Chains A and B, each alone.
Chain A
Amino acid sequence: MRKKVGIIACSGEELLGGTLSRAAARIVVEKLRSQETIILCAPLFAAGGLERHGGQEERNFAKEHPTITIEGCEEECAKIAVDKYSGPPAATIYIQKYIDAHPELKSISRESLGEEGMKLAEIIAEDIAKKVDELFIRK
């Protein structure tokens, strides 16, 4: 049985990159590669899990499975967290690169993507899905 790929998105609420990263992660996990991926909770990663479960579920998953981090800004919170608790991520996606590449796809606000913002999230999600496929090929 092939290992699932972990997807961990930036949790940023203060910036559009955070909203796009969350939307793209969900498109991958719920639609594009629902069988191959599992979503990881970034805050849980940061704080550690339930003590009675050993407190390390998300972190252990990322230790044993390839994990893709999606970064909403240059802070690279998801990458830093994965790196710190589980080892280097398998791949990192930078949302800003997509925002710069598609100036025509403008979101309504940092919280609300609107139709054009969702199109951009889908483009990002397609690329994440490709990364997932690459990781499967590598395996």
Chain B
Amino acid sequence: MKKLTKEIICILPCNGLDKSLGVIAREVSLMVIEKMPDVQLICPVLLNNGDKRYEDLIQTSKIIIINGCMTRCPTKLIEKRKLKPFKQIMIPDMSKKHKVKPSKDLILNEDNIKLAELIADEIIIDLNKSDQEKNIDIREFQEQEYFDITVDKYYFTVPKKEGYFFNENDCWIKPEGNTALIGITDYLQNAASDILFVDLPELGSEIEQFDDVGSFESSKTVLQLISPGAGRIIAINKSLEQNPEYVNQDPYRKGWFVEIELKNFEEDKELLMNGPEYFDYMKIKIMKEKNHLDQIKSERDV
């Protein structure tokens, strides 16, 4: 199972003190760091002098380069080490793009500060975007066998494999050590029909058993995932934001919603069913609904 790891981000500005472009580059890097304190600032001159700490850092980091002028000093420092930056910014290009002239002296005017803010914001947006992409936590699952039942045109499954537990709200939990994946059952996804949006909880939040930990919306309805277990949310399935259909296609594997660090699963388990128990429970539920619908239909036909 893949876990999320924190990537180090470095910013290598020009820092040139002979032109306002260099001063803008410096200002941009300071603004990024102010908003993202985890970003590490690299001094180009110290890097050039072979500082070991920097050398080690840039080998394993995502590097953002801010070039003040066409000499592209920071780029040269990185190219010399045969590394590829994540992003390169040329202050003259940005100055043209935003139609802001760099000041003639080294004291930045109001427009230059605004330009620096715009560039810093663009960098932060890109970093956040790439973070979101990185957080798409794709897991590999083994093929598995299912108990199944077909009612009319609908096909319902429950995993045969041991290790899945279910609540009466048609949600499942699959513990592995002290963590567990949580999702909804095939019955619930069938009831919802084509899922269009999935709303996931915040990472790090604490949940109790039977708390509402997410919702999903189809063209028919909005339903909630009621957690079968208590704990702290340590991962969310971000891929569902782009591909909510995974819940319909593969509810017990690719369609998982969240991963939690379990609080006391032995206690939670007392209120849950295992696979065969839930399959029986689900069949009764389906048949009751079918009978109810058939009755309505026959009354309408009469």
Contacts and interface: CB of A to CB of B under 8 A. Distances in A.
Contact of A11 (B15, B71, B105): B15
B238 interface: no
Interface in A1-26: 9-14, 18, 22, 25-26
B15 A47 contact: no
B106 A10 contact: no
Contact of B77 (A26, A42, A47, A77): A47
B74 interface: yes
A111 B49 CA distance: 22
A43 B78 CA distance: 13
B18 A41 contact: yes
A61 to B, nearest CB: 11
A22 B16 CA distance: 10
Interface residues of B, number: 29
Nearest to A40: B18
A105 interface: no
Contact of A39 (B18, B72, B77): B18
Contacts of A99: none
B90 interface: no
B18 A11 contact: no
Contacts of A39: 17-18, 106
Interface in B33-88: 41, 43-49, 51, 70-74, 76-77
A81 interface: yes
A50 B67 CA distance: 13
B48 A46 contact: yes
A49 interface: yes
Contact of B45 (A43, A49, A50): A43
Contacts of B13: 13
A46 B41 contact: no
A134 interface: no
Nearest to A77: B45
Interface in A32-84: 39-50, 75, 77-78, 80-81
Contacts of A47: 44, 48, 71-74, 76-77
Contacts of B15: 11, 13, 42-43
A9 B17 contact: yes
6 shortest A-B CB distances, which residue pairs? Answer: A46-B48, A47-B73, A41-B18, A43-B73, A41-B16, A43-B44
Given A11-B43, A45-B45, 15 more contacts: A10-B45, A11-B17, A13-B30, A14-B41, A14-B43, A18-B43, A41-B19, A41-B22, A42-B45, A46-B47, A46-B77, A47-B48, A47-B71, A81-B45, A81-B49
Interface of B: 13-19, 22, 26, 29-30, 41, 43-49, 51, 70-74, 76-77, 105-106
